[in-house]
């Protein structure tokens, strides 16, 4: 990657949830690029209070926007951007209010709401699954009529494939809706959002990360998800880039995404799309105004020589950047949770790191932490990274390293209340 240092120091405002794992990466990227980054967050986080950041009012968007506008008026910013899904909507409204590059309101709704995106696809001749939206408080009424099987039930408010369940008949859908009801209740989200029941779309699944600048889309990577993702649950495991697609299919995917962006009116910032490809073409499952989640963006650094956060920041402040393309393939495994329980220890980490073509094995969980399998689970125990000459070698290395790992668990004992 080649960066062209700015003639004057750019300032950018990053809106991040409390204790977001992405914040530190953005701060480091800004230091490397010579960008003055101000972090706006909710609550009394150390970073906002002691480093010149902004503390935002958690339960009042109006007050948060006023705080941001005052900061813009005092010391103008070149861009306002979000670190995570949770802050995309606020960053978009703040950018629009302060005359900074951003996306229109309708586009922001589609980027932050699964239901709004589904409705958009239905009304704008974009291939997406047919769906029905159910009130989350009424899931005990069972499977609604008129559903095509197989179908997929999913909460509209959760991410990382939590609560996403394939159902092949009305009985399975009844059970899935009860399970989603329990999950939303445990999260305190019952009644807040709807639950989608949509057609299951067969085909191979891919993800695309890109950056938009004045309506121009630059695709950073297309990630292949090797192996069938046919359910009953859809915990994501392996991402590999570049994918084993022909030039013709790659052009088809990029063209379809560009067309989607034009229809939505998305013109600025990071973009992450999930899609499937089958004989009927490209089907969009999701589009979000952020980059790929977790630490998966690290494999882009293997391919380009710079971090994903550097690319996002450079794009936001209009800093010219030329991204190099390295040969070979890179991949990451989001280590799956195959069994639930209380973690005692993780064995085989050193052996996993010694596997050919493995770059690193990062284990995030600690002794005493409770591991929960999908579809209720939400936190991956860690990540495995690999680089090799081909995508097949990357996948082989990731799976070999994973076989070395042994998560030793103790059963989670039920809690009792003393009389």
Enumerate the domain spans of the chain: 10-110, 129-199, 328-412
Is residue 416 very low, low, confident or very high in pLDDT (cuts 50, 70, 90)?
low
Give me the half-sphere count of Cα atoms (radius 13 Å) on the Cβ side of residue 344: 7
pLDDT in tens, 376-412: 887 889 999 999 999 999 999 999 999 999 999 998 7
The predicted structure's pLDDT at residue 44: 57
Q: Which CATH superfamily is domain 129-199 in?
A: ATP-grasp fold, A domain (3.30.1490.20)
Neighbouring-strand partners of residue 13? 38, 80
Q: SS3 breakdown of the chain: % helix, strand, coil, rounded to 5?
A: 35, 30, 40
378: left (phi over 0), alpha (psi -120 to 50) or beta: alpha
pLDDT in tens, 262-271: 999 999 999 9
The predicted structure's pLDDT at residue 325: 67
Q: Which CATH superfamily is domain 328-412 in?
A: ATP-grasp fold, B domain (3.30.470.20)
Between 4-13, 285-294, 397-406, the lowest mean confidence (pLDDT) is in 4-13
Whose CA is closest to 237, among 355, 359, 338?
338
85-97 and 61-74 helices, crossing angle to 10°: 50
DSSP string, 138-197: GGGG-PPTT--SSEEEEESS--TTTT-EEESSHHHHHHHHHHHHHHHHHHT-TTTSEEEE
Is residue 414 very low, low, confident or very high in pLDDT (cuts 50, 70, 90)?
low
DSSP 8-state code for residue 233: B
Q: Is the pLDDT of residue 305 over 60?
A: yes
Between 45-59, 149-163, 252-266, the lowest mean confidence (pLDDT) is in 45-59
Is residue 60 very low, low, confident or very high in pLDDT (cuts 50, 70, 90)?
confident
The predicted structure's pLDDT at residue 53: 84
Give the separation between CA 310 and CA 243, rounded to whole angstroms: 23
Query: Dmax of the chain from CA atoms?
Result: 70
Give the chain's mean pLDDT. 87
Q: Is 325 helix (H, G, I), strand (E, B) or coil?
A: coil
Q: What is the mean pLDDT of residues 129-157?
A: 86
Q: Is 120 helix (H, G, I), strand (E, B) or coil?
A: helix
> Do 82 and 164 contact (CB within 8 A), yes or no?
no
Distances (CA, A) of 388 to 136, 242, 353, 392: 45, 11, 14, 9
Q: Flag whether the pTM goes above 0.85.
A: yes
CATH 3.40.50.20 fits 10-110, yes or no: yes
Q: Is the pLDDT of residue 211 over 90?
A: yes
Give the separation between CA 408 and CA 402, rounded to whole angstroms: 14
Whose CA is closest to 14, among 113, 80, 107?
80
Q: Is the pLDDT of residue 49 over 50?
A: no
Place of tokens 């995508």: 391
Q: Is the pLDDT of residue 37 over 60?
A: yes
DSSP string, 23-78: HHHHHHHHHHHT-EEEEEEESS-HHHHHTT-EEEPTT-HHHHHHHHHHHHHHS--S
Give the separation between CA 208 and CA 191, rounded to whole angstroms: 32
The predicted structure's pLDDT at residue 173: 94
The predicted structure's pLDDT at residue 5: 53
Between 19-33, 174-188, 264-278, 319-333, the lowest mean confidence (pLDDT) is in 319-333
The predicted structure's pLDDT at residue 419: 46
Q: What is the mean pLDDT of residues 332-357?
A: 95
């Amino acid at each position: 990657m080649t960066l062209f240092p700015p003639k004057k120091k750019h300032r950018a405002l990053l809106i991040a949830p409390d204790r977001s794992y992405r914040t530190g990466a953005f701060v480091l990227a800004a230091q490397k690029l010579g960008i003055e980054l101000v972090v706006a967050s909710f609550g009394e986080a150390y970073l906002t209070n002691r480093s010149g950041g902004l503390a935002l009012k958690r339960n009042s968007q109006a007050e948060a926007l006023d705080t941001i506008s005052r900061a813009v008026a005092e010391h103008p910013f070149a861009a306002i951007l979000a670190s995570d899904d949770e802050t995309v909507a606020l960053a978009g409204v703040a950018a629009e209010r302060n005359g900074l590059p951003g996306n229109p309101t309708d586009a922001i709704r589609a980027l932050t709401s699964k239901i709004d995106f589904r409705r958009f696809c239905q009304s704008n001749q974009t291939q997406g699954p047919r769906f029905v939206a159910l009130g989350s408080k009424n899931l005990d009424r069972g499977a609604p009529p008129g559903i095509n099987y197989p179908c997929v039930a999913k909460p509209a408010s959760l991410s990382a494939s939590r609560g996403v369940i394939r159902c092949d008949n009305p009985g399975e859908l009844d059970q899935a809706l009860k399970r989603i009801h329990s999950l939303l209740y445990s999260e305190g989200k019952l009644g807040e959002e709807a639950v989608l029941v949509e057609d299951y779309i067969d085909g191979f699944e891919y993800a695309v990360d890109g950056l938009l600048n004045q309506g121009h889309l630059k695709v950073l990577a297309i990630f292949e998800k090797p192996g069938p993702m046919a359910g009953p649950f859809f915990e994501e495991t392996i991402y590999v880039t570049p994918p084993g697609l022909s030039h013709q299919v790659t052009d088809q995917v990029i063209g379809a995404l560009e067309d989607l962006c034009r229809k939505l009116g998305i013109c600025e910032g990071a973009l992450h799309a999930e899609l499937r490809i089958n004989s009927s073409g490209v089907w969009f499952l999701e589009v979000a105004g952020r980059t790929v989640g977790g630490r998966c963006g690290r494999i882009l650094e293997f391919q380009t020589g710079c971090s994903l956060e550097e690319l996002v920041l450079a794009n936001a402040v209009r800093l010219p950047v030329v991204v190099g393309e390295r040969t070979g393939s890179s991949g990451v495994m989001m280590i799956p949770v195959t069994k639930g329980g209380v973690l005692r220890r993780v064995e085989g980490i050193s052996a996993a790191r010694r596997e050919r073509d493995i770059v690193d094995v990062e284990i995030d969980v600690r002794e005493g932490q409770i591991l929960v399998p999908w579809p209720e689970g939400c936190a991956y125990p860690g990540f495995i990274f690999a680089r090799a000459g081909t995508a097949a070698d990357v996948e082989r290395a990731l799976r070999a390293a994973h076989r070395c790992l042994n998560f030793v668990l103790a059963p989670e004992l039920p809690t009792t209340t003393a009389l």
